[in-house]
Structure 1
């Protein structure tokens, strides 16, 4: 059995000191073997390395965004692990400086691959996201077919979009397999309501793309599993606020955790 978690931890370091404590508390409670992170920054603080140290996860693989020189924060994705890496690889995706990564570890004598990505942002379906997902599917398709593979991350696409349909052609959503449907939403959490500028920005973006002022929320985060794995459990995590605030959440995304059995 292997426990996998994924969470977009939000690159914005506003209130990071409070949020990071909630992240550690929530992730420690899950005791995951492998954690995939999106929107990790390395300046002024390495958020992925800090979390790894606090969670006592000795193996970290960080991949920065491609062509990132224009960004004030050095941002990327990371995988934290309790198992040493047998192999680690990265892939530059087409568009928006996006990247994907995978690691291979050995769990109970069995090889296991975890792929992490943060994909093209655009409301609804978009050919840019479809191209990136197809890149990753082709990339993972080069692995030996007997390897169990899990592909996780912030896909920036809701369940009805074309990129998620592409993923379902080769993988199964762990949450949908366990619950019969995807979660109602994974983003945004009430964290966005703590800053009036963010509230206005979200309202403007929603009006521009969705032609409505009704607040948007949807499922963007997934754990996809290959047929070599059986889903024993899958739940939303990091979905509760701080005890002293109804709007202070670990991130603007919920996380997802899955217990997976490797089929021999």
Structure 2
């Protein structure tokens, strides 16, 4: 099999709160859907939508199949972290949800220092015949300790889902999408990418993740930061696409679409074009 191209996107769409005023969800709802529709990822991971936001986006984007649950109870409560894939091109073999905690199968669980429950939505997909595991997550925004623990857990999960035979070999390539609330060089990022050494990861460290921005064959497109807070231009990069296993990154971009000065979210989406399979 020759390599199959697959475009992935991670997009924190910002939860619905009236405190956002002119940037509240009712004003941004069609803009968020338009960004996804126009850039046409084969697989997209969203962060922060509440249940009604998630329902609205599913309605506006019928070309995608979606999976994802609320972080508070595994149902409809709390922010969601859903995965969507283009139904005409991508098939799902299986999917699941793991909470970032010491009890990953318990809905609503969290690490002791985390401010909120956090989770990973994952799916084993087949893109035009090529298998690809995709994980979507949102790390805690307050606790560095919880982010480090989540990074360790995520690496082990990537190894399990990708069928790791040792620390470096995966039988299925993996793409990891998300708002990690950490910048390059921070401790959680160093754990994810192995920059701090495997001594930073307790027990089986799992595969090292590679930042798609660094691995891109073509120069990065767009801004190099993603988080703007609705107050001026973005100033930090906390949204990332990571890859592991037999996957090539062709292109990487941060999408800075605006409508008459209005951003669709307080985060810019990140898009990567991957080549998977042989």
Q: TM-score, normalised by structure 1?
A: 0.80
* Residues 221 and 254, structure 2, Cα contact 8 Å, conserved in 1: no
Matching residue within 236, 240, 244 for 2:257? 240
Q: Does 1:138 align with 2:162?
A: no
Contact 1:151 1:224 (C-alpha < 8 Å) held by counterparts: yes
Matched, 1:28 2:32: no
- Label 1:11 to 1:255 Cα distance change in 2 as closer, same or farther (>3 A): same
Alignment partner of 2:50 out of 41, 65, 72: 41
CA pair 28-181 structure 1, distance change in 2 beyond 3 A: closer
8 A Cα contact 2:248 2:274, kept in partner: yes
- Runs of 5+ consecutive residues of structure 1 not aligned to the other structure: 194-214
Partner of 2:265 in structure 1? Answer: 251
Asked if the contact 1:230/1:263 (under 8 Å) is kept, the reply is no
Give, in whole Å, the separation in 1 of the partners of 2:65 and 2:271.
19
- Counterpart of 1:225 in structure 2 is 243
Shift of 1:122: 2.7
TM-score, normalising length: structure 2: 0.76
Q: Tell me which protein shows more helix as a share of its residues.
A: 1
Of 201, 209, 217, which aligns to 1:171? 209
1:8 aligned onto 2:25: no
1:93 and 2:111 are equivalent in the alignment: no
Contact 2:43 2:84 (C-alpha < 8 Å) held by counterparts: yes
Say whether residues 1:109 and 2:126 are aligned partners.
no
Question: Is the aligned partner of 1:184 residue 2:224?
Answer: yes
Paired residues, number: 231
Task: After TM superposition, list the pairs within 5 Å mapping 1:56-75 onto structure 2.
Answer: 56-66=62-72, 74-75=78-79
- SS in structure 1 of the partner of residue 91 of structure 2: coil
Distance in 1 between residues matched to 2:14 and 2:223, nearest whole Å: 20
1:84 has 2:91 as partner = yes
Moved over 3 A (4+): 66-69, 179-184
